[in-house]
Structure 1
Amino acid sequence: MTASTPTFPITELLPQIVAALATHPRLVLEAPPGAGKTTQVPLALLDADWLAGQKIVMLEPRRIAARSAAQFMAQQLGEVVGQTVGYRIRFESKVSAATRIEVVTEGILTRLIQHDPELAGIGAIVFDEFHERHLAGDLGAALALDLQATLRPGLRLLLMSATLDGERIAQWLDAPRLSSPGRSFAVRIEHPPARTQEVIEHQLARVVRQALEENDGDVLAFLPGRREIARVQAVLAQTLTRDDVDVLALHGELSLIDQQAALVPAESGLRRVVLATNVAESSITLPGIRAVVDSGLAREPRFDPNSGFTRLETVTISQASADQRAGRAGRVAEGTAYRLWPQSRRLEPARTAEIAQAELSPLALELAAWGITASSESDLPWLDPPPAGALAQARELLQQLGALGDDGRITTLGKRMLELGASPRMAAAALHAPPSLHALVADLLALLDARSPMRGEQARNDDLRVRLAALHAWRDRRGVQARDADAGALAAIEQASKGWRRRLDVRSAASGVPHSHSVGDLLLHAFPDRVARRDDSNPTRYTLANGRGARLHENTALLGEPWLVVIELRRDSRDSLILAAAPLDPRVLERDFPARFSRERSLRWNEQRGAAEAFDESRFGAIVLERHSVPVKPSDALPALLAAVRARGIDSLPWSDHARRLRARMQALRQWMPELGLPDVSGAALLASLEDWLAPCLAGRHRLDALGPEDLSQALASRLDHQQRRMLDAQAPESLVVPSGQPRRLEYAEDGPPVLAVKLQELFGLADTPRVGGGRVPVTLHLLSPAGRPIQVTQDLKGFWERTYPEVRKEMKGRYPRHPWPDDPWTATPTHRAKPRERR
């Protein structure tokens, strides 16, 4: 069946893989880069008896790898791509009725499963490079496992990876585990330091030149993205003087021809420097590499709450990625890996799963289409379940966009959004647009899925329409270099726009300058929570429909616009900074969002007046359109008063000394005798229960200063029933009557026993320390001199009389001769007075 059968390290393991899947529907395969798993395993499975002539679908994380794998397998069969082996990626498909191995990317596997939950005609799904933990891979695996457990028990699932926790994956799948050796030679690791004030591009170019001098063969350099690759190419063009070196780029935005140039061996007498993104880490073969220069950086998806999109951000790679990159230098002979970070730096062991840090509205929409709602999300067999908070936030957004109903189930609009394949926000905008604007929608879909193409002074332009105008000008001039925009970025955006135009059935591209409000009016349906109205008193400040504040920067191009839809924000503790927005026509709000307009009575607390105020307000979301002051009703004032207390804190209330002592006694007895069930009167508990104890005192009042200290004491006391009050007075009394017959106050603290400060003479005859709290807590005695100064602090009165009193008596008798200092304090008469003077 094969035209050529090259030998790979995994070749000897292929019969075991086929046999393992014959006896078990799931398998985990660990094989390092270069083992041949991506291209040899699917071909080996084609003739398996258990496959019975059905199709194999292989999920590949990257488009370059998907094309490359399909082309290599087709070559082995002596065919062109699209016959036995084909691929489907975003906006591109090469398959036919004869295709039996289909390599797919992104959400295409999910679409296959959603369209046909039985996957008729598909006998196996292969998840390649599963260690990269892309969201699409995790979701696809969870759906496939669910499908296998319910409708297709005979479906085979194979998870392959170069670096994964195979034991954990195997336990999750309940599957056997096979490992293949790689083909590698020793790789020497170097950490060449950066020079003073040397930027990463110049450092990498310098180390590339060093690698060419110190090693034979080709050099592979890893950079985070296309822009950095272009900068290094420019530096090497100026500094590389050798004629035998060809510098090539390799990233996902290149044409097929340019990508292929990096994947074929160098011509005789030439050496190559391949500047690549992390697409070169695995799944593709780069011949002749003997040295690797690693920037230690990559672009990975991160949810950006400022824009509402998941964007690619530059991050430090994991140790697993660093090891894979270094391994590229040891495929054909011993090699060298140059790492452009200090040897002392410790990297994270493995890449964080995308599901833990991405915006989850696309996932939530897929789950709803599968019939999974908030009440049943635990039914899906996740390796790592999505964070509950992020998933709840995603569902809330989908309800705003109309993709989910109040019951959490997918709506007709939600199903159409899935079919379009755009992010939920942009899919909602696209599907609300009239056909006459679909060309403009295609441009916006491409623009907002990419980094801004603007450069120079225009890079900070906050008017989104400038990006669109740059794209149209570049397109109308047939790709002529724009002064303030990156032509390469515009070319990539145009390529994506073509794909969206095909999907939207648009025959011609948009051109010229769009209508002033057309962009904002379209994007309303993507960002209904980001509609913003200018404040009447400050032309640079806006209030968003979600209630947050935002501001324009000092060089804004949007000054004077009364209404905006905000696309990108930089969060701040107060007002966020608007980075990109477009003006809108408020009449569109009335036409398309009538349900978000409301008229309601609102309350607020006027801190200056110390009183509640009421208003009749007309609103769009949280944006106040009109406001009129109206009289405050007693029922209206109460929530505002309670909110003011919460804002000010519990200590802002007019507590009397009596009320504070009552709180202290209640809290102490609650701790000493929990069986009594006394309420918690700590500050935090009182704030949390204002409606229960304070609201009755505030009923009918408009101002906090109408509340008096007695009201607070009564409010506290009302929290105790009769039995609890009786026990409070008995077991945590306000005062104790000492042997002299006088009542002396007990001072209660937050922690520890109460304190009784009393003159020593008043305790004559008292043998034991008084106790409270049902006899469980001895009182701390502060024994005072006749002048009220402390003599001794003790909780052992008996021990004081026996051991300490004789010494105290000697000292005090001389200092206070007019006061009694008996030899025997046990039988002496207690008194709070001095001895009367003798009459002469």
Structure 2
Amino acid sequence: MTPAPAFDLATIGAGLSFAAALDELSGALDASRSVVVSAPPGTGKTTLVPPLVASRMTGRVIVTQPRRVAARAAARRLAHLDGTPLGTRVGFTVRGERSAGRETRVEFVTAGVLLRRMLDDPGLDGVGAVIIDEVHERALETDLLIGLLSEVRELRDDLTVIAMSATLDAPRISAVLGTDEYPAPIIDHDVPAFPLTERWAPSPVPRLDERGVTWGFLDHVAATTASAARELISDAPEADVLVFAPGAREVSEIARRIRDTNGAFDVRELHGQIPAAEQDAVIRGRAPDAPARIIVTTSLAESSLTVPGVRLVVDSCLSRQPQRDAARGMTGLVTAAASRSSCVQRAGRATRQGPGTVIRCADERTYAAAPARPAPEIAVTDLADATLLLACWGAPGGAGLRMIDPLPAQNLADATEVLRSLGAIDDEGRATAEGRILARIPTDPRLARALRDGSPVVGTRLAAEVVALLGGDLRIAEADIAQAIIALRGGRAPDARRWRTDADRLERMVAATPGARSGLDGVGLVIALAFPERIAHRVERTAEGATFLLASGTRAGVRGPLAAVEWLAVADVARASARAAAGSGAIIRSAAVLTETQIESAASHLMTDRVEAQFAAGRVQARRERRLGAILRSSSPVRASAQEGRDAVRRAIRRDGLGMLSWSEGADGLRRRLALVRREFGDPWPDVSDTGLTEAVDVWLAPELDALAGGAPASRLDLTSALRRLLPWPDATRLDELVPDRLEVPTGSRIRIDYPPHDDATARPVVAVKLQECFGWAETPRLVDGRVPVLFHLLSPAGRPLAVTDDLASFWSGPYSQVRAEMRGRYPKHPWPEDPWAAVPTRHTKNRSAR
């Protein structure tokens, strides 16, 4: 067999600055099977590195891109420069589209395509090199690829792996791609940048509100673009304008506004939801005699693609970012400030071919406050698909793989729970036979399971259509999935062709089951099979829309026709924007109507029918409740069983504390006395703190729990007797000796001792007594075997405090004389002797005492 001729690198690299780095790269490849390439966008690394590597080996070179449009565009460009038909020496494979054959030497693919290909071919038979492009974006699938390839290279020392990017943490990637002893060599190619002029155009209205990007801000971006474009084109008619918006909706709205006000420009949209032919037309550039273009794009053009002719960039400084809200069980895209590194990448699109300008639709302070870099997707997104792939690979949770970052523990735990509920992994995290089947269906495992389980019920075609829609990132007007399918079937939606291709492919992956193609009653059931925890019931309706409660406990709003529906199967629920994070901020973005019968079929495992008892208003109350997760379906009063009542009281005590019980003066006093003895002696005296009594509630309060469970009110409980159950024997016989309830003073009066609160570790027992009753009392009484002196509050005849002391002898010898001087004129009928030591203690006035 005659070997295929080598690529003509001189012809392919003509005019590309990276051609100057090819010799250095070749030298690195002679010394190492892994290399890191860092070079600015537009220098030609994506075009030149693959043919260079292919010319050095016999196996196929696989080049991954994070997006389908980038993979197609890169393949077309290299095939064009090589002078060969696309699909022969150079080809591509993306989801739903393939142009490659047996003779293909360089194949561009998305990272997801290669990941699933590796499940069937772990050794990558026939592949000589894998080039991972745009590593800096830290897409989840790219991170996973690096981990899996690290293990493949341990078995295949002939496999070359190259990581490429414009702005990446090269030393970190080098350490991961290489070995502990020998990091991968780094090829750092830099070129002098053309001058960039920065301008600022802050919006006069807020960029975001609780529902996302405001219409006023879109007006501002469109007006700023149109004005700047007129100025640019008058000076450089050959120049084009690139406008960055956070998402496809904002792209369309900005483009429409510009078209409505300026007919002189060719306004184009560029994002992942437009047909491939339109994407390719934008990337090819414009003819010399064509009008100037204004291209409104998402982050798609930030780094993956080079759009020729751009000299002006207008940046909204916003981006759509994945975000996981574990508390609400939501994962989705949230609009927020774009990172500064992303904004630098966007601005660089204006200086590929000459001096350029960037206009940022924010002020400098807002720009400076944005995060420096975007968070890696592995840290913020749902990991169910990734976790299943790793389980199928034989590395549950990524164990043993060299990865840039490990899977976050909580997100991994959540994903593991989802996969176990699907039967996709076992208790050790290993893939089951069912899991391996689900992993080969190119969609989220939950959607894959819905496709398999829904097909026998609603028909294979409808199930495939629903899953293709939900897995295809397609627009869904007014959140109504059923209406979206009608539009797609009629070919009216721009994504209809791609959706139909995806649905065809999914349909072939499951056993054919008959079902009416035109019927839409089963749409909600398919969604509910995938996401039973997102079944939602309407709880409130207003003129603006409705609020639904999801089975997971999340509340979310919806507008439009679906607001009139009682039950929904929700496919996508997410925060509306970063600003909405303080409130619920949850918006239903796609859903379908669901019937009661379908709920029974899809979510029987979430249904409960049990008695819920609670302790409220001093009594045990119980109701029989039927629930679907957090959704209450029916409730009726019943009598609680003894066990249910006891459990209700225990929960109330744990939740509300012991203050919910009715503490009499005697019970509170006994608790205070016990607390003081415990403070001084410790065991075996009981711990009567809130924590101690709560933990021992079944010991000291058992009969009272039974009484409460039987319907007795809390006000009737005798907590004094209950506390005495905790007394240790025989030590309990000394309780009144150690901490008496009352103290006898010299007059014979028995004064109640005020013991400190049970939770005060420093306070002392107090006796408040009239000063005259203590004349001649020298020895201050001490409690708890002499450990704790009593603190006396000596009172006036009217019961007002005159002095506080725990040393009576010192008081009579000193401060008493001043008290006598101040009080004898105010209370002349009461004795105020000069010598308190010789005076007779009394409770009465002088005259009564004399009698």
Mapped to 2, the partners of 1:826 and 1:196 lie a distance apart of 85
Q: What code does the residue aligned with 2:121 have?
A: D
Query: Contact 1:35/1:183 (CA < 8 Å) preserved in 2?
Result: no
Q: How does 1:50-65 map to 2 (within 5 A)?
A: 53-65=58-70
**CA deviations over 1:787-814 (Å, ceiling 9, x no partner):** 2211234677777566643322211233
In the alignment, which residue of structure 1 is the partner of 2:141? 136
Q: Which residue number corresponds to residue 500 of structure 1?
A: 503
One-letter amino acid of the counterpart of residue 185, structure 1: F
Number of positions where the alignment pairs a residue of Structure 1 with one of Structure 2: 804
Q: In 1, distance between residues paired with 2:27 and 2:501?
A: 45
Moved more, 439-448 or 634-643: 634-643
Match of 2:383 among 347, 360, 368: 360
Q: In 1, distance between residues paired with 2:734 and 2:585?
A: 50
Tell me if the contact between 1:469 and 1:513 (Cα under 8 Å) persists in the aligned partners.
Answer: no
- Describe the superposition over 1:301-353 as per-residue Cα deviations: whole angstroms up to 9, x where unpaired: 34589998854443321111111111222222222110111222121111122
- In structure 2, the partner of 1:789 is 800
CA contact (8 A) 1:58 1:125 kept: yes
8 Å contact kept, 1:570–1:579: no
How far apart are the structure 1 equivalents of 2:54 and 2:585? 60
Q: 1:471 aligns with which of 488, 495, 500?
A: 488
- Quote the Cα distance in structure 2 between the aligned partners of 1:578 and 1:65: 27
Whether the 8 Å CA contact 1:516–1:583 is kept in 2: the answer is no
C-alpha contact 1:34 1:183 (8 A) present in aligned 2: no
1:525 aligns to what SS in structure 2?
helix
- Equivalent residue of 1:181, what SS? coil
Q: Tell me which of 195, 207, 223 is aligned to 1:206.
A: 223
**SS state at 1:491 partner:** coil
1:258 corresponds, among 275, 278, 291, to 278
Which stretch has the larger CA shift, 692-701 or 794-803? 794-803
Tell me how far apart the structure 1 counterparts of residues 151 and 677 of structure 2 sit (CA, whole Å).
56
State whether structure 2 residue 165 is matched by structure 1 residue 161. yes
- Kept in 2: contact 1:134–1:353 (CA 8 A): yes
Q: Which residue of 2 aligns with 1:113?
A: 118
Q: Distance in 2 between matches of 1:827 and 1:164?
A: 94
Residue 814 (structure 1) aligned with residue 825 (structure 2): yes
Q: Deviations over 1:66-114 (max 9, x none)?
A: 2222333334444344344432211122332333433322422321333
Q: Secondary structure at the match of 1:699?
A: helix
Check 1:547–1:47 CA distance in 2 against 1; reply closer, same or farther (3 A cut): closer
| Alignment-derived partner of residue 291 in structure 1 | 312
Cα 1:820/1:444, change in 2 over 3 Å: same
The residue type equivalent to 1:206 in the other structure is A
Name the amino acid aligned to 2:270: L
Q: 1:280 aligns with which of 298, 301, 314?
A: 301
Counterpart of 1:753 (choices 763, 766, 769) is: 763
Question: Which of 352, 359, 362 is the aligned partner of 1:338?
Answer: 359
Give the aligned residue type for 1:650: L
Aligned runs of 1:5-404 on 2, under 5 Å?
5-6=13-14, 8-20=16-28, 23=31, 26-47=34-55, 53-148=58-153, 151-152=155-156, 155-170=159-174, 174=180, 175-176=183-184, 178=186, 179-194=188-203, 199-212=216-229, 213-214=231-232, 216=236, 217-240=239-262, 242=264, 245-268=265-288, 270-303=291-324, 310-345=331-366, 346-372=369-395, 380-404=401-425
Conservation of the 8 A alpha-carbon contact between 1:38 and 1:128: yes
1:654 aligned counterpart, secondary structure: coil
Displacement of 1:282 after TM fit? 0.7
Other-structure match for 2:209: none
Aligned residue type for 2:650:
L
Q: Indicate which of 698, 701, 704 corresponds to 2:705.
A: 698
Go from structure 1 to structure 2 and tell me whether the alpha carbon gap of 1:45 and 1:193 turns closer, same or farther (over 3 Å shift).
same
How far apart are 1:14 and its partner, in Å?
4.3
What residue number does 2:3 align with? none
Change (3 A) 1:779 1:542: same
Q: 1:204 to 1:555 in 2, by over 3 A?
A: closer
Which residue identity is paired with 2:704? C
| Per-residue deviation, residues 566-594 of structure 1 (Å, max 9, x unmatched) | 5466899899989733234728946x888
Gaps of 5+ in 2: 1-5, 207-214, 540-544, 576-582
1:715-769 deviations in Å (ceiling 9; x for gaps): 4444464488689878777666667664541331344413514234455567797
User: 733-742 or 78-87: which moved more?
Assistant: 733-742
Counting only pairs closer than 5 Å after superposition, residues 371-520 of structure 1 correspond to structure 2 as 371-372=394-395, 380-405=401-426, 408-434=429-455, 437-449=459-471, 459=478, 464-472=481-489, 474-475=490-491, 479=492, 490-505=493-508, 514-515=518-519, 517-520=521-524
CA displacement, residues 154-188 of structure 1 (integer Å, 9 cap, x when unaligned): 65544333334445555666535633324412212
Separation in 2 of the partners of 1:663 and 1:779? 18
SS in 1 for 2:753: strand
For residue 370 of structure 1, what is the amino acid of its counterpart? Answer: W
Instruction: Indicate the RMSD between aligned Cα atoms, in angstroms.
Output: 4.7
SS of equivalent to 1:281: helix
Q: 1:776 to 1:119 in 2, by over 3 A?
A: farther
Q: Deviations over 1:246-301 (max 9, x none)?
A: 33332223334322332234433553322221111113222222211111223333
Is 1:638 matched with 2:608? no
2:318 partner amino acid: L
SS at match of 2:335: strand
Match 2:597 to one of 586, 597, 606 = 586
Task: Supply the distance in 2 between the matched residues of 1:13 and 1:552 (Cα, whole angstroms).
Answer: 55
- Structure 1: distance between partners of 2:782 and 2:172: 60
Q: How does 1:548-697 map to 2 (within 5 A)?
A: 565-567=569-571, 580-584=591-595, 586=597, 589=600, 602-605=611-614, 610-613=619-622, 633-645=641-653, 649-664=657-672, 676=683, 681-683=688-690, 686=693, 690-691=697-698, 693-695=700-702, 697=704
- Contact 2:61–2:127 (CA<8 Å) still a contact in 1? yes
Tell me whether 696-705 or 549-558 shows the greater mean CA deviation: 549-558
- Corresponding letter in the other structure for 1:810: A
Cα pair 1:146 1:380 within 8 Å, conserved: yes
Q: Report deviation, 1:828.
A: 6.7
Equivalent pair of 1:780/1:794 in contact (CA under 8 Å): yes
- Tell me by how many angstroms 1:501 deviates: 0.6
SS at match of 1:263: helix
Kindly state the Cα deviation for residue 706 of structure 1 after the two structures are TM-superposed: 5.2
Separation (CA, whole Å) in 2 of partners of 1:278 and 1:625: 44
The separation in 2 between residues aligned to 1:309 and 1:573, in whole angstroms, is 11
Provide closer, same or farther for how the CA distance between residues 727 and 282 of structure 1 changes in structure 2, counting only shifts above 3 A: farther
- Secondary structure at 1:814 match in 2: coil
Encode CA deviations 1:632-672: one digit per residue, 9 max, x unaligned.
Answer: 543343223434555665322122223334444555666x5
- Is the contact between residue 455 and residue 461 of structure 2 (CA under 8 Å) also seen in structure 1? no
> Given residue 523 of structure 2, which amino acid in structure 1 is its aligned partner?
V
